[in-house]
Amino acid sequence: MASRVLTRPPALRSPAFRSIGRSVLLTLPMALWALLMFTPSFRQPGRNLHIGALLVILFMTALFFLMMRTGKTYRWRRYFFVALGLLFPVGFIASLVAVRGTMSIPIERMVSGDTPFCYMVIPMLILPAAVTRTIIFPGSILPTASNPHSIAIMIGLWLALTLVVGKAWCSYVCFFGGIEEGFAALPKRMKIRKLDPRLRLVPWAILLFVVVLSAALFEPVYCMWLCPFKTVTEYPAVHSVTTAIQMGIFITLFAGLVVVLPYLTKKRTQCAFFCPFGAFQSLFNKINLFEIRFDREKCVDCTLCQTSCPTMALSAESIREGKTLLNCMKCGACVDSCKKSAAVWHLKGTKVALKPERARLLFLYGAWAMATMFGGSILANSISTIIGFLPLR
Ligand code: SF4
Ligand code: SF4
C-alpha cells in the first residue's frame, strides 16, 4: 500500500524519467558552466547585478535538472524562453531610456552605427561584404578602440553555435521568439486550427527579397522596413511620412504576427511564416549533428506531434518518412507530446531510436550552454535593471 502511495505509476512517467542522483550528476556540467559564465558579473561592483546573476544561475540549473529528471525538454525550456522574451524588452527599453531618454532614434543614426548588434542583420551583410568588403549595417559591431574584434567575435560566435545546434538558435537564444511563445502559451486551445502549409514558404521568399534588395540598395532593408521587433526595442524617430509608414508597418506586423496570431493559433507565426533570419538558420540544419526523427515501428500516425509543433515543421508526409521539415528548430515539443515514444532525438550517423536520450543529452549540453551564455546574460542584465527601478532600500 505504502509503495502505491509513494511511487508514481510507471505509465505516467516518461521513458527517460531519471533518479534524482543521476539527474543531479547530469546537471552538474551545466551548473558549472553557468557559474563560469557569471563569475565576471560577481567581480563587478553592483548588488543588483549580483542578484540578477545569482537568480539566473539558479533558474538555468533548476530547469536543466528538471529536463534531466523528467525527460521532457519543451516544457521546461519554455519557462526560460518566455522569461527571456518578456524580460529582454523591459531591460532593453529601461537602459535606452536611462541612456538616451527615449526609445526612438533617428534612422540615419540607426544605419550609421548607434545601435547594438542584431543577429537578424547577418544574412543581409553577406553579399555586400563579399563583393565590396563593406559592412552595410555597422551598428556597434564596428571595431572600436575598446573592442577591436567585435565583428569577428559576434559573427564567429553565432557561426560556431549555429554549426553545433543548427536552427535551435531560434528556440534557445532568440528573445524575439520568446515573446511569441509567451502569447502562444496563453490560450488553452487553438482558436484557428487550419493553416495553409504553403505559408511555410513565405520566410524563404522574404529572405531572398531582403538579401537581394539590401545588396542592391546597400542598406539593411529588413531593419528599415519589416522588423516587427522595432516596436519593443528601438524605433526610428517619426519626423516624416516615410518614417510614419515605417513605424506603421512595424507596429502592424508586431500586433498581427507576434501577438494576435500566436494567441489564436498557438503557433509562433512570425517565426514560421515571416522571419527571414529563421529561414537562413534552417539552412544550417542540413549540416549540424542533431535532429528529430520518427520511429516508424512505434508511430501510429496520430498527428499529436504535428499539432504540437509551434512552427509547422512537420507534415503527415514528413512523419511517414521519419523526418522533420527543414525549418525544425529543435524545441522538443513533438518529442514531449508523443505518447508512443516514437518521436526521438537523433545524432546523425547513428541508428535511429537506438539511444535517443544520449542524443538529447548531447544536444542539450550544446543548446543549454548557448542559452545560458546569450539568453542568461540578457536575463541577468534585465533582472538587475528591473531591480534598480524597484523602490527598495
Ligand atoms: S505523436 Fe508520436 S505516434 Fe503520433 S504521429 Fe507523432 S510520432 Fe507518431
Ligand atoms: S518538429 Fe518538433 S522539434 Fe522541430 S520545431 Fe516542430 S515540435 Fe519543435
Cβ-contact 30, 56 below 8 angstroms: no
Can you give the residue ranges of every domain in the chain? 17-102+355-393, 104-140+150-288, 290-354
- Confidence (pLDDT) at 81: 97
**Ligand 1 pocket residue status of 301, Cβ below 6 Å:** yes
Ligand nearest to the CA of 335: 2
- pLDDT class of 233 with cuts at 50, 70, 90: confident
Closest C-alpha to ligand 2, atom 7: 309
Beta bridge partners of 343: 294
Ranges 16-20, 132-136, 355-359, 364-368: which has the least confidence? 132-136
**Contacts of 133 by beta carbon, 8 Å cutoff, 6+ apart:** none
- Confidence (pLDDT) at 5: 44
Closest C-alpha to ligand 1, atom 6: 305
Residue 172, classed as helix, strand or coil, is helix
Closest C-alpha to ligand 2, atom 3: 330
* Mutational test site, ligand 2, from 81, 294, 324, max ligand atoms within 8 Å of CB: 324
Closest C-alpha to ligand 2, atom 6: 309
Cβ-contact 208, 238 below 8 angstroms: no
The x, y and z cell numbers of residue 20, run together, are: 534524482
What is the CA(307)–ligand 1 centre distance, in A? 10
Cβ-contact 77, 63 below 8 angstroms: yes
* Mutational test site, ligand 2, from 284, 294, 330, 363, max ligand atoms within 8 Å of CB: 330
Ranges 45-59, 81-95, 355-369: which has the least confidence? 81-95
Can you tell me which residue has the cell 513605424? 247
The burial class, CB within 10 Å (0-12 / 13-18 / 19+), for 317 is exposed
Residue 174, classed as helix, strand or coil, is coil
Degrees, nearest 5: CA angle 292-342-308:
65
Q: What is the model's pTM?
A: 0.89
**Ligand 2 pocket residue status of 83, Cβ below 6 Å:** no
Quote the radius of gyration of the chain (alpha carbons, Å): 22
The CA distance from 330 to 88, in Å, is 22
| Mean pLDDT for all residues in the chain | 88
- Confidence (pLDDT) at 388: 84
Closest C-alpha to ligand 2, atom 5: 328
**Contacts of 167 by beta carbon, 8 Å cutoff, 6+ apart:** 278, 281, 282, 284, 285, 327, 328, 329, 330
User: What's the length of the chain?
Assistant: 393
* Mutational test site, ligand 2, from 81, 265, 329, max ligand atoms within 8 Å of CB: 329
What is the CA(292)–ligand 2 centre distance, in A? 7
The x, y and z cell numbers of residue 195, run together, are: 493553416
CATH number of the domain at 290-354, please?
3.30.70.20
> How many Å from the N-terminal Cα to the C-terminal Cα in the chain?
53
**Ligand 1 pocket residue status of 342, Cβ below 6 Å:** yes
Can you tell me which residue has the cell 548588434? 117
**Ligand 2 pocket residue status of 170, Cβ below 6 Å:** no
**Ligand 1 pocket residue status of 302, Cβ below 6 Å:** yes
**Ligand 2 pocket residue status of 332, Cβ below 6 Å:** yes
Closest C-alpha to ligand 1, atom 3: 299
The atom number, within ligand 2, closest to the CA of 309 reads 7
Residue of higher predicted confidence among 233 and 367? 367
Closest CA to 232 of 215, 255, 261: 255
Residues 248-272 have pLDDT tens digits of: 999 999 999 999 999 999 999 999 9
- Confidence (pLDDT) at 97: 81
Residues 151-207 have pLDDT tens digits of: 677 778 888 888 888 899 999 999 889 999 999 999 999 999 989 999 999 999 999
The atom number, within ligand 2, closest to the CA of 333 reads 7
- pLDDT class of 120 with cuts at 50, 70, 90: confident
